[in-house]
Amino acid sequence: MSTKVETATRAGTAVGLPLERVDAGEKLRGQARFTGDLDVGRMLHGKVMRSPLPHARIVSLDASRAERLAGVVCVLTGRDLLDLPSPLYGHALKDRPIVAIDRVRFAGEPVAVVAAEDEATAEAALALIDVEYEELPAAVTIEEALAPDAPLLHEGPQRAGLFHGLGELGEREGNVCYRYHIDRGEIEAAFAHADVVVEGEYTFPAVYQYALETHTVIAEHRPDEITVWASCQHPFLVRAELADLFGLPLHRVRLIVPYLGGGFGSKSYTKMEPITVAVARKAGRPVRIRNRVDEAMLTTRRHGLRCRMRTSATAEGRLLGREVELWLDTGAYADNGPRVTATGGDAAPGPYRWAAYRVDAACVYTNTSPSGSYRAFGATHVQWIGESQVDEVARRCGLDPLELRRQNLCVTGEELRAGGKPLDADLIGDVEKVAEAIGWGRPRQRWRGRGLSVGLLAAGAHPVSNATVRLESDGIAVVLVGTTEKGQGARTVMAQIAAEELGLPLERVRVQGADTRYTPYDRSTGASRSTTLAGLAVQRAARDVRDQLARIAGSDPDPDEYVALMRRHFGFAGGELIGVGEVRPRGTGSYAEGPVFWEVCVGAAEVEIDPETGVVTVLRTATVADVGRAINPKLVERQDEGATLQGIGNALFEEMLWIDGQLANGDLLEYRIPTLRDMPAEMTCIVVENGDGPGPYGAKGCGEGALAAIPAAIVNALADAGVPMTELPLTPERVWRRIRELEKEATGG
């Protein structure tokens, strides 16, 4: 896409204003419809039978008793997939069967689906399916999966998915499905001549991207035509995968996406759609599958990580080199693991002026539930590690961590990756702002600490978005854009952009939901890309309409004249003006161009530790939303607050635990998510608007940075309080044990 900043050419009616969300009314009144609210007619209900074992061969499967239960229409099993071109899917690697075929690779893997007239019957029928398993040795942890004698999860050559997009597909080595390397500068030299070397081993847990709405899919399969209503973030990518799986052209697969009740990456790419289509195909009627929370937790999660990192510097605090090894646990199937691995690798050095760095990252299969995207993926995994080493360097050099960052951070315009996009943000300015917000440098009490953190997230995913704007004959502009509204306010922002360009009040703009049969292409909703890319497409489409109006009027028309102008143009009260907007990569179009923009991940936190219990309380946080231009400042702040709260959860208590290959805390009673009680007393979001983004009006995306920044700031604040940690989450037990350990070390114990 163009890097030129496209600024508004008329007085603002919408952009920059903290307007109320366009969907607020219908959501508050309970009128907004989510996938689970739909009844498409003749609809059956599907329930999934799941593997009880982490790794096993299916010796036999007999669904005949279930099929005889009154109200059951059919039972889908792996045998029903034999006529497909290939029953495997996965946008990066085609490694996942629609439903288990002869083998299961994690406890919770779908083995069969019952479609019945109601959900209770479907549920009851699950117990009537007879499956005999032959248990296989399982590799549940990264260590077990990398062991020389580890059981292999997948055999045979790797097959690239439709959106592999990560260069040449390497050979699978054992259970490693993807490797990512960066090697810049003379890494040995950067350590050989260093005065200070900090090193350590770190663990980041698997966590769950909890969204209020679970995955819900309704599918209808008619000959040569698939219609899917889904709570999915990336309708066009899902369309492509379904078309590929079921052997249809793109236009024969229709994805309709109502409102989403949250996503956070859990609904990115293809999740429950293939299995729902497959059972609907067998049933010959529409089928809905609605995950319970415990099922959703088995459907996707964030990668757990093991990391070895070392950082070197001069005695004066000049950073020299960083060496990183990362292992990400992607579960039984790759899902977005390769991309998370690459993004984590890219984020690991941090935005510093290194003499050299080297990253070796590996994405590892384990016999656990598959891992995908989660807000600020990759960056959240590693920023806390890198930033804790930066702070440790500062401590060893006797420098203020803020001062050390001032000296070492890259500055605007500086090259971050060879040939990639230069830095398009003012990191030093940003970190100074959050430092000030939490009272950096002021005296602090014992067991309190303050921490800063700075990072970058390669944002925007692949920059392809189309949009159209239809100005109807009643003067209302209808925006067709594929962005999905998942609670982040995308429809409001798109409406504001179109309103601004057309000089219309917000209530005269309507943003329609995504329906791939009609809505123009948009790659995906995620990676902070919607405002920047889809928004730019909308801006261009709206501007196209405005240009048409100007040609009709012979001058720049007043919005109050639009209806009359169109009536004259068309000679009656009908017709519409259609504007088209396109966004695409400027050059080769590969990711090698670097990201669409760098999303800053800058935060600060002050914490208090209760030394008797190990309980950590986050007293205050500050984050920067360096958005270039805030289309809607209120929505920007809400984004940062949400990410901050998720960052607190990731840092302090969220962790998925497996015992004997079984997810042991797979529901909301046992898996603790942040609540309002976890909010810090003081939460500051600083909106920075330098107009330096590639999106409309100089905007760039937001909403992810705080999630990467806050855990790192909290870890650094703990270290500042005297309790350095290398394992997340910072549960009271872990912190308490670490305090005891440190006491022992201090007393020479």
Nearest to 417 by CA among 203, 712, 189, 180: 180
**Considering the complex, what minimum distance in angstroms separates the CB of residue 96 from a copy of itself?**
19
Which is closer to a copy of itself, CB of 511 or CB of 685?
511
CA dist., res. 598 & res. 424, Å (int): 7
First to last CA, the chain: 60
Beta 216-222 vs 287-290: how paired, if at all?
antiparallel
Cβ nearer to a copy of itself, comparing 441 with 589: 589
Residue 594 CB, shortest distance to a copy of itself, in Å, is 13
Rounded CA separation 87/596 (Å): 34
**Minimum CB separation from a copy of itself for residue 496, in Å?**
17
Residue of 241, 704, 727, 741 marked active site: 704
Closer residue to a copy of itself (CB): 295 or 501: 501
In angstroms, the CA 697 to CA 631 distance is 8
- Tokens representing residue 87 in the block: 């029953």
Nearer to a copy of itself, 259 or 440 (CB): 259
Phi, psi dihedral angles at 649 (to 5 degrees): -60, -50
Give the nearer residue to a copy of itself in terms of CB position, either 40 or 679. 40
Q: How far is the CB of 414 from a copy of itself (least distance, A)?
A: 25
Q: How far is the CB of 457 from a copy of itself (least distance, A)?
A: 20
Name the E strands within 258-355. 287-290, 304-313, 319-331
Is residue 325 part of the annotated active site? The answer reads no
Question: From residue 371, how far is each of 37, 90, 251, 608, 736 by CA, in Å?
Answer: 28, 12, 29, 33, 30
Strands 287-290 and 44-50: parallel
Three-class DSSP category at 364? strand
| Alpha carbon distance 317, 328 (integer Å) | 31
Return the structure tokens found at 411: 């500055």
- CA 224, CA 219: separation in Å to the nearest integer? 14
Cα(219)–Cα(423) distance, rounded to whole angstroms? 44
Tokens matching residue 508? 């005269």
Query: Which among 454, 458, 487 has a CA at the least distance from the CA of 710?
Result: 454
Beta bridge partners of 361: 180, 326
What 3-state class would DSSP assign to 64? helix
Shortest approach of a copy of itself to residue 515 CB, angstroms? 7
Contact predicate 686/434, CB 8 Å: yes
- What is the Cα–Cα distance from 310 to 346, expressed in whole angstroms? 16
CB of 249 to a copy of itself, least distance (A): 5
DSSP line for 636-659: HHHHHHHHHHHHHHHHHT----EE
Q: Distance (Å, rounded) from C-alpha 245 to C-alpha 575?
A: 39
Judged by CB, which is closer to a copy of itself: 252, or 738? 252
Q: Which is nearer to a copy of itself, 41 or 748 (CB)?
A: 41
Q: Which is nearer to a copy of itself, 26 or 414 (CB)?
A: 26
CA Rg, the chain, in Å?
Answer: 26
DSSP state of 664: S
Least distance in angstroms from the C-beta of 558 to a copy of itself: 20
Sign of CA dihedral 717, 723, 728, 731: negative
Q: Which residues bind a copy of itself (CB under 8 A)?
A: 26, 29, 31, 38-43, 162-163, 165, 222-224, 236-237, 240, 243, 249-251, 462-464, 466, 468, 470, 472-474, 476, 478, 480, 510, 512, 515, 517-521, 523, 568-578, 580, 582, 584-585, 588-590
Kindly report the number of other CB atoms within 10 A of residue 643's CB atom.
28
- DSSP state, 99? S
Which C-beta is closer to a copy of itself: that of 522 or that of 641?
522
We find the least distance from the C-beta atom of residue 705 to a copy of itself, in angstroms, to be: 25
* Residues with catalytic roles: 704
